[in-house]
């Protein structure tokens, strides 16, 4: 109950306003995401890179893939652009969190929704939904365009089995990267730092660990977040030594869960 003293000196007691629930938090995060121009530019870039580069790679390599000298499967190219589009998922995941810290708007967010875990969950759900849809549509567009050139060489791939899995797997991969970045964003609270750390883990360290010798190096390569999560987004991986698609994605999800738990603990203990 809230007590208010009026100008006449009387005391008016009114029930407290209901605190925003999870649905209201979701709606607020969706409004914040879709009303910022950087969101749309980033999603457009994801589509152009993901679909455009896939089509370009299939067009440029169709002749070679159809020749006896080819040592790669067409399935390695049919979602090739999604490996570059993951950069946009990192950028969007960072901006969803760190922009509010940079402008101070995060204080208003926590004032409106005092449950910080609810804020973390709402941002995560909205971002995952958007990236899954955009990633799946982008992969499908790249497949339709790229497979046209493969079909002309007689090596086209039907939209079934591992190819079909790679379509929604691309959406899952982008969504996972975005969620991974959200967790890092809450830990670091800095846009450039968040993007740099995640890109280093996904793209640079994931390849550099190949230089580590022995069994330890092999498993380190398999378990790096970008390597573990990316296999689900392609029918045939360029690296046959990585984990199977769903096993790798399960490892990636576990790594995201650990990072989100750390972000939640830090978020509750640290001032905005």
pLDDT in tens, 219-258: 999 999 999 999 999 999 888 889 999 999 999 999 999 9
Model confidence pLDDT, tens digit, residues 221-231: 999 999 999 99
Token couple for 248: 């790798």
5: phi then psi, degrees, rounded to nearest 5: -90, 120
Angle at 173 between CA 25 and CA 132, to 5 degrees: 45
Q: Which helix (H) or strand (E) holds 19?
A: none
Beta-carbon count within 10 A of 165 CB? 17
pLDDT tens by residue, 151-182: 999 999 999 999 999 999 999 999 999 999 99
What pLDDT, on the 0 to 100 scale, is given for residue 71?
A: 83
Confidence of residue 35 (pLDDT cuts 50, 70, 90): very high
Q: Which of 41-45, 106-110, 173-177, 183-187 has the lowest mean pLDDT?
A: 106-110
Predicted TM-score (pTM) above 0.85: yes
CB under 8 A, 24+ apart: contacts of 154-159: 154/66, 155/62, 155/65, 155/66, 155/74, 156/74, 157/74, 157/75, 157/78, 157/235
pLDDT number for residue 11: 39
Strand partners, 4: 12
Q: Quick check: helix, strand or coil at residue 241?
A: coil
Mean pLDDT over all residues of the chain?
Answer: 90
Percent of the chain having pLDDT more than 90? 75
Q: What is the pLDDT of residue 18?
A: 62
pLDDT at position 10 is 44
| 62 close to 150: Cβ distance less than 8 angstroms | yes
Report residue 159 as tokens. 């939209």
Using alpha carbons, select from 211, 199, 89 the residue that is nearest to residue 139.
89
Structure tokens belonging to residue 224: 């790096």
| Mean pLDDT in residue range 132-140 | 97
Tell me the CB-side half-sphere exposure of residue 81, using CA atoms within 13 A.
28
Mean predicted confidence (pLDDT) in 169-198: 96
d(CA 225, CA 241): 15
């Amino acid at each position: 109950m809230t007590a208010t003293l009026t100008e006449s000196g009387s005391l008016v007691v009114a029930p407290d306003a209901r605190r925003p629930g999870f649905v209201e938090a979701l709606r607020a995060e969706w409004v914040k995401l879709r009303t910022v121009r950087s969101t749309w530019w980033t999603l457009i870039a994801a589509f152009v890179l993901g679909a455009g580069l896939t089509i370009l790679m299939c067009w440029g390599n169709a002749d070679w893939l159809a020749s006896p000298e080819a040592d790669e499967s067409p399935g390695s190219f049919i979602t090739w652009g999604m490996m570059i589009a993951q950069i946009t998922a990192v950028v969007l995941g960072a901006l969803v969190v760190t922009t509010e810290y940079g402008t101070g708007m995060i204080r208003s967010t926590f004032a409106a929704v005092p449950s910080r875990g609810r804020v973390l969950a709402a941002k995560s759900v909205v971002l995952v939904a958007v990236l899954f849809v955009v990633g799946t549509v982008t992969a499908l567009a790249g497949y339709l365009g790229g497979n046209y050139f493969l079909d002309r060489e007689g090596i086209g791939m039907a939209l079934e089995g591992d190819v079909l899995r790679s379509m929604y797997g691309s959406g899952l991969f982008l969504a996972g990267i975005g969620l991974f970045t959200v967790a890092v964003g809450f830990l670091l609270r800095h846009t450039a730092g968040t993007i740099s750390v995640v890109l280093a883990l996904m793209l640079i360290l994931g390849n550099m660990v190949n230089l580590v010798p022995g069994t330890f190096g092999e498993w380190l390569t398999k378990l790096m977040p970008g390597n573990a999560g990316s296999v689900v987004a392609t029918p045939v991986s360029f690296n046959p030594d990585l984990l199977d698609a769903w096993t790798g994605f399960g490892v990636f999800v576990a790594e995201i869960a650990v990072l989100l738990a750390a972000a939640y603990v830090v978020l509750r203990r640290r001032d905005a």
